[in-house]
């Protein structure tokens, strides 16, 4: 790949951002013209996403490029910088949003709350905000665009603002986003080390004492963790994702969560310079707890979008585990292993962006075709919606982390990283960190369970409701979006060596080493991060041999024997009275997990007695974090407010007394 | 890819295809003897397969393509699994395509498809079987990976061929970590291959079956492929266990004499292993399905313990 001439890549990225804003404004001009917005503006925006992905991919191996935009306050311009890390995440943004935008063109309908033109504006402000966050090179530009991203996504979440639950979900999202933003602001405050210069260049130049560096890291983990959904700041995710329209959920889960990951990587590897080992342990513990929590809750969900939201929490947890591992390796100057962990993490970011977007879009099509989000009222949709079903199946295999999909590659790399932790110089770490791999493996296996439940209950079996047989397949634009993301998942799974080569400049800029491939011919076939003797994986060969065996078996069986098939009613052990209601519901499928992980849940059950004439079974599963953390914080806030409220007597004379006392106190202080 | 590797690879495939039903037949024979019954002949599984292939496949009216594709995919996965496990020789060209972690993923892929196929018809037993299979799977998979991790840490490689040649060359000593791992592996294999005490391969009692509930709707060639795949799975698990815990007798590259000896060695090891399996199945009672998570959690913890013991003692 030839790097573009100097300053061309960043200019290209800025042109795309400006064009996105222009499309947004055009949407406002055509406020109620759905045809224009959906058929012209959104596909155009998808083309721009492709351009962004192309520019970013070309910029990854190039040298960092900077630009200064004279907008904002006087003497406080926006500093922008496009280096390998930014370019990687911009490429992720472009690749995922290209599919999502095309899909959105076919998805949005008239009469869903916000008019389509306004929706188009919010959507493109959101895209532009995320892209600028990734390019920002000073705290001011970063925070302004971070807010732009948060606010525009708030308006997107509350598209159907006439429904009270959606307004509530939007408020919760806004609240957590701002608590996180405060922490990020404080983190930047620590990073500039009293110099008053908030550019990232200055922050890089500062060398903080370990105490302040740790403060900055923890603030960043908290602040960005609020956006990414790390325990216990995840509560907004399962509320906001189901509330938002599906393309927006896809964009939020697939891309916006990654901007938070970008922030963590930027702060811990770039701005802070040399990490300290226990940061990695903190990230590892937080990530694993998040992942386990997410997947266990995903298994218990009955709303398909909530299920995916919890699955996003799980994936973010795994990404943070990778980050923690990379920090530990980097702290002990084991550069090539840090590169391995970092590659695993970045690869998983990319994978998650594609497969989770794909799954969210699939639920969008199902939602439009059936008006149902409840898994208990779906079923058998594979016959009526084959396009959606087969593309979703690709996403399901990727999300379950099974070969030869892309999800398996990143999981494989992460586990390979864990196998090297026994070489850490700290004996306690060398002994305890490998055990974390057991947790990662458990999470990955549970993800398979969750995905079988997701796909099986929605698309397989018999329709649980009459109306489902009227379900229609996705439209042309929707299919295009789904196919694009499916192709992404498949290609990322089949050519890992090429992807890793593309990521290499990112890791070499962050930890000083790339993941050098062992220099043998035909390397693109074989993924062998350290050496082929140590570990290797070749998805192409894997797929080809499996496909060859399948084809051979298919042909041979027909040649040697026969290929006759008779269609009949299902047998089911000869049981004659079968109805669709006898299939497992989503609750039923999740029941074993609920039983095994009972202490995790806050569960209320109403069981019927054998003598009930009209038996009712009701089970509600709630997030215990509400009770443990949020309700207590709310109670404490209320108690403090009550104390403050005692001061407020509502009589002017008492307020004058307060002023008088304050003045006297101040006088005394200044005299003294 | 050299010629010798290709020959070894094809030989391994032939051995797997023929040996797997024979192993299943042998286990059935031993079990019949232990239960004082007259044993069916060793080649009984082949006759069953032949019979099933001739029969017509009956497919439910509502079945989607997943139902018809799944048997082929499961068969392909299991055959590939027995290609990458060093059964006769460690000189396997296919072994670079997938290491031990990918092997676990391969079993996972097969499990995903068979579970989806079971849910496809929409019968109560099918979904019940899918749920139970995934339950067993999500607990057994991590336990299996912990075993693999322990072996990988000892040999500093996740490649099965390297692991086996490293383990075969160490001097004979019972490593405590491998002992724990072996116990965990045995428990996982019992669960994964639908054996007593987790499942009973000979039952069709509705409330207890796991594997049989999954394949209840299959008939004819589809059922034949699944049965063959099940026996291949048992074969693959047995060979993986033998390769990790008893790696002696497996030929290495450029060792033609050893390759000749490898087949009788494998047959002898499998015969003993099969008898042990039959003995376990005869002496143990099947446990309630609610006890299975406990059983598998024990296996998982034993696997983790093996890892810890290895890290603590370095052995």
Task: Report pLDDT digits (tens) over A9-30.
Answer: 888 999 999 999 999 999 988 8
Q: Which residues, including other chains, have CB under 8 Å from residue A570's CB and lie 6 or more apart?
A: A578, B60, B61, B62, B121, B122, B123, B217
| Alpha-carbon gap: B254 to the closest alpha carbon of chain A (Å) | 17
pLDDT tops 80 at residue B242: yes
Q: Which residues, including other chains, have CB under 8 Å from residue A465's CB and lie 6 or more apart?
A: A370, A372, A377, A378, A379
Q: Is A300 on the interface with B (CB under 8 A)?
A: no
DSSP H helical ranges for A77-163 = 84-107, 116-135, 139-157
Q: CB A182: neighbour CB atoms within 10 A? A: 13
| pLDDT given at position A556 | 94
- Mean pLDDT confidence for A579-589: 84
| pLDDT given at position A110 | 67
This prediction's pTM: 0.94
CB contact under 8 A, B123 and A570: yes
Question: What is the C-alpha separation between A619 and A568, in angstroms, rounded?
Answer: 37
Q: Is A416 on the interface with B (CB under 8 A)?
A: yes
Give the residue from A488, A103, A529 showing the smallest Cα distance to A338. Answer: A529
By C-alpha distance, the chain B residue nearest A439 is: B142
pLDDT per residue as tens digits for the range A155-190? 999 988 888 999 999 999 999 999 999 999 999 999
Helical (H) or strand (E) element with A428: helix A427-459
- Both tokens assigned to A193: 């080390």
Pick the range with the lowest mean pLDDT from A47-56, A462-471, A573-582, B178-187. Answer: A573-582
Q: Is A538 on the interface with B (CB under 8 A)?
A: yes
pLDDT exceeding 90 applies to what percent of chain B?
55
Q: Is this complex's ipTM strictly greater than 0.90?
A: yes
Q: Are A49 and A126 spatial neighbours (Cβ–Cβ below 8 Å)?
A: no
Please identify among residues 114-143 of chain B the ones whose CB lies closer than 8 Å to any CB of chain A. Answer: 115-116, 119-128, 130-132, 134-135, 137-139, 141-142
Of A401, A460, A595, the CB nearest to B116: A460
By C-alpha distance, the chain B residue nearest A421 is: B153
CB contact under 8 A, A550 and B75: yes
Please identify among residues 265-284 of chain A the ones whose CB lies closer than 8 Å to any CB of chain B. Answer: none
Question: What is the C-alpha separation between A155 and A165, in angstroms, rounded?
Answer: 14
Q: Rounded to the nearest 5 degrees, what angle is found at the Cα of B109, between the Cα atoms of B106 and B115?
A: 140
DSSP-assigned states of every residue in A577-609:
---GGGS--HHHHHHHHHHHTGGGSEEEEE---
Q: Is B36 on the interface with A (CB under 8 A)?
A: no
| pLDDT given at position A32 | 82
Please identify among residues 193-232 of chain B the ones whose CB lies closer than 8 Å to any CB of chain A. Answer: 204, 206, 216-217, 220-221, 225
pLDDT per residue as tens digits for the range A363-414? 999 998 998 888 888 988 999 999 999 999 999 999 999 988 999 999 999 9
- Mean pLDDT confidence for A199-222: 92
- Both tokens assigned to A427: 């004996």
Q: Which residues, including other chains, have CB under 8 Å from residue A658's CB and lie 6 or more apart?
A: A647
| pLDDT given at position B1 | 52
Q: Is A380 on the interface with B (CB under 8 A)?
A: yes
CB contact under 8 A, B72 and A550: yes
**Residue B103: pLDDT band with limits 50, 70, 90:** very high
Question: What is the C-alpha separation between A14 and B84, in angstroms, rounded?
Answer: 50
SS3 A266: helix
Q: Give the best residue of B73, B85, B99 to mutate against chain A (max A CB count within 10 A).
A: B99
Q: Which residues are registered as beta bridge partners of A156?
A: none
pLDDT per residue as tens digits for the range A599-637? 888 888 888 888 888 888 888 888 888 888 888 999 999
pLDDT per residue as tens digits for the range A58-80? 999 888 888 888 887 778 889 99
B121 neighbourhood in chain A, CB within 8 Å: 461, 570, 572
């Amino acid at each position: 790949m030839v790097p573009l001439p100097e300053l061309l890549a960043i200019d290209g990225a800025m042109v795309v951002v400006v064009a996105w804003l222009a499309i947004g404004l055009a949407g406002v001009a055509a406020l109620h013209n759905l045809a224009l917005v959906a058929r012209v503006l959104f596909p155009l925006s998808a083309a721009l996403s492709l351009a962004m992905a192309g520019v970013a991919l070309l910029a990854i191996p190039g040298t960092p490029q900077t630009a200064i935009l004279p907008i904002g306050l006087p003497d406080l311009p926006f500093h922008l910088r496009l280096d390998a890390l930014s370019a990687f995440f911009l490429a992720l943004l472009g690749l995922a949003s290209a599919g999502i935008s095309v899909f959105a063109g076919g998805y949005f309908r008239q009469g869903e709350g916000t008019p389509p033109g306004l929706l188009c504006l919010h959507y493109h402000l959101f895209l532009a905000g995320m892209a600028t966050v990734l390019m920002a090179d000073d705290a001011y530009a970063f925070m302004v665009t971070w807010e732009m991203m948060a606010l525009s996504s708030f308006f997107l979440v509350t598209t159907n603002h006439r429904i009270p639950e959606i307004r509530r979900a939007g408020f919760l999202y806004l609240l957590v986003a701002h608590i996180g933003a405060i922490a990020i602001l404080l983190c930047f405050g620590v990073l500039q080390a009293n110099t008053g210069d908030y550019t990232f260049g200055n922050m890089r130049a500062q060398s903080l004492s370990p105490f302040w560096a740790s403060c900055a890291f923890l603030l960043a983990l908290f602040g960005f963790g609020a956006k990414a959904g790390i325990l216990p700041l995840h509560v907004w995710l399962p509320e906001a994702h189901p509330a938002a329209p599906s393309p927006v959920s896809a964009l939020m889960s697939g891309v916006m969560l990654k901007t938070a990951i970008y922030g963590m990587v930027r702060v811990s590897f770039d701005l802070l310079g040399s990490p300290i080992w226990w940061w990695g342990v903190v990230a590892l513990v937080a990530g694993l707890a998040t992942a386990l929590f997410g997947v266990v809750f995903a298994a218990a969900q009955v709303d398909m979008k909530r299920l995916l939201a919890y699955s996003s929490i799980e994936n973010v947890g795994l990404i943070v585990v990778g980050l923690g591992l990379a920090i530990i390796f980097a702290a002990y100057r084991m550069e090539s292993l840090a590169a391995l962990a970092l590659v695993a993490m970045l690869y998983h970011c990319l994978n998650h962006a594609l497969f989770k977007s794909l799954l969210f879009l699939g639920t969008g099509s199902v939602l439009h075709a059936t008006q149902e989000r409840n898994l208990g009222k779906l079923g058998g949709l594979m016959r009526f919606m084959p396009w959606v079903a087969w593309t979703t199946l690709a996403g399901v295999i990727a999300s379950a982390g099974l070969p030869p999909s892309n999800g398996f590659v990143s999981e494989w790399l992460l586990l390979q990283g864990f196998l090297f932790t026994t070489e850490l110089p700290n004996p306690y770490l060398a002994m305890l960190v490998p055990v974390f791999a057991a947790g990662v493996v458990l999470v990955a296996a549970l993800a398979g369970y969750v995905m079988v439940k997701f796909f099986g209950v929605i698309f397989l079996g018999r329709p649980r409701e009459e109306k489902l047989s009227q379900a229609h397949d996705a439209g042309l634009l929707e299919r295009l979006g789904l196919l694009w993301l499916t192709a992404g998942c498949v290609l990322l799974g089949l050519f890992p060596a090429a992807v890793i080569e593309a990521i290499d400049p990112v890791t070499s800029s962050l930890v000083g080493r790339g993941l050098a491939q062992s220099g043998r011919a035909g390397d693109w076939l074989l993924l062998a991060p350290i050496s082929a003797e140590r570990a290797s994986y070749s998805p192409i060969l894997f797929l080809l041999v499996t496909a060859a065996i399948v084809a051979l078996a298919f042909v041979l069986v027909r040649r040697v024997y026969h290929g006759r098939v008779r269609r009949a009613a299902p047998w089911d052990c000869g049981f004659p009275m079968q109805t669709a209601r006898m299939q497992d519901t989503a609750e039923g499928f999740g029941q074993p997990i609920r039983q095994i992980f009972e202490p995790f849940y806050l569960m209320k059950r109403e069981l019927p007695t054998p003598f009930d004439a009209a038996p009712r079974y009701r089970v509600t599963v709630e997030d215990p974090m509400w009770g443990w953390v949020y309700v207590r914080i709310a109670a404490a806030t209320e108690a403090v407010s009550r104390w403050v409220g005692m001061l407020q007597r509502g009589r002017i004379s008492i307020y004058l007394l307060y002023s008088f006392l304050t003045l006297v106190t101040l006088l005394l202080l200044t005299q003294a | 890819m050299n010629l010798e590797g290709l020959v070894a690879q094809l030989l391994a495939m032939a051995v797997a295809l023929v040996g797997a039903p024979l192993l299943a037949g042998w286990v059935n024979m031993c079990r019949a003897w232990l239960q004082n019954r007259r044993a069916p002949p060793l080649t009984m599984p082949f006759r069953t397969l032949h019979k099933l292939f001739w029969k017509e496949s009956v497919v439910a009216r509502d079945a989607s393509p997943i139902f018809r594709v799944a048997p082929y995919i499961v068969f392909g996965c299991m055959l590939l699994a027995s290609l990458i496990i060093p059964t006769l020789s460690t000189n396997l060209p296919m072994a670079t395509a997938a290491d031990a972690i990918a092997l676990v993923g391969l079993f996972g892929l097969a499990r995903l498809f068979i579970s989806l196929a079971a849910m496809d018809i929409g019968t109560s037993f099918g979904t019940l079987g899918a749920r139970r299979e995934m339950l067993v799977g999500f607990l057994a998979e991590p336990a299996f990976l912990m075993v693999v991790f322990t072996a990988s840490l000892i040999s500093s490689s996740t490649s099965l061929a390297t692991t086996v040649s490293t383990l075969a060359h160490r001097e004979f000593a019972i490593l405590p970590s491998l002992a724990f791992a072996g116990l965990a592996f045995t428990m996982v294999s019992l669960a994964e291959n639908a054996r007593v005490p987790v499942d009973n391969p000979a039952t069709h009692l509705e409330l207890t079956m796991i594997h049989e509930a999954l394949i209840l709707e299959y008939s004819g060639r589809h059922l034949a492929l699944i049965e063959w795949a099940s026996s291949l799975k048992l074969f693959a698990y047995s060979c993986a266990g033998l390769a990790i815990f008893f790696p002696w007798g497996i030929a290495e590259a450029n060792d033609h004499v050893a390759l000749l000896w490898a087949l009788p060695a494998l047959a002898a090891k499998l015969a003993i292993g099969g008898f042990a399996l039959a003995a376990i199945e005869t002496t143990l009672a099947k446990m309630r399905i609610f006890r299975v998570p406990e059983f598998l959690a024990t296996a998982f913890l034993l696997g983790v313990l093996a890892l810890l013991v290895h890290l603590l003692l370095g052995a």
